[in-house]
Amino acid sequence: MSLEIELLKHAFRKPFTLLYPFEKRELPKGFRGRIEYDMGKCIGCGLCARDCPSGAIEMVGRGRTAEFKVHLYMCTFCGQCVDSCPVNAISFTNEYEYASRDKSKLVFEFKRPVEGVKT
């Protein structure tokens, strides 16, 4: 008898879960998604790569010519790189879906735009 009562109680309630991936949850303020570099602000100091506890940031070059690779499969989304950047060139995005069987698809490269070339 109690099973029928429970079924009737919950039959007319709104479902608690979302129909993911068709419905997406609203992300909270301060959500830590994928890392994004603003290469226009970046001074290439390397603090982000040095301070990353998991070694997910690879820096190629130095100074204003530096380029970065973020190995997302290694990233713990701790935010240390964001906190370490003295010019606020690093931020988190709201992207969080990264399922892949290929590691190379989880490496994001940030290169400086070539001057004089329109994109």
Q: Is 39 helix (H, G, I), strand (E, B) or coil?
A: coil
Per-residue pLDDT, averaged over 84-98, amounts to: 92
Are the CB atoms for 32 and 76 separated by under 8 Å?
Answer: no
Q: What are φ and ψ of residue 107, in 5° steps?
A: -110, 120
Q: Write the pLDDT tens digit of every residue in 19-75.
A: 888 888 888 998 999 999 998 899 989 999 999 999 999 998 888 888 899 999 999
Q: Is 107 helix (H, G, I), strand (E, B) or coil?
A: strand
pTM of the prediction?
A: 0.74
What is the assigned CATH class of domain 27-110?
alpha beta
Q: Is 108 helix (H, G, I), strand (E, B) or coil?
A: strand
Angstrom distances, CA of residue 66 to CA of 23, 27, 113: 39, 32, 11
CB-CB neighbours of 57 under 10 Å: 24
* CA angle (63, 86, 112) in 5-degree steps: 40
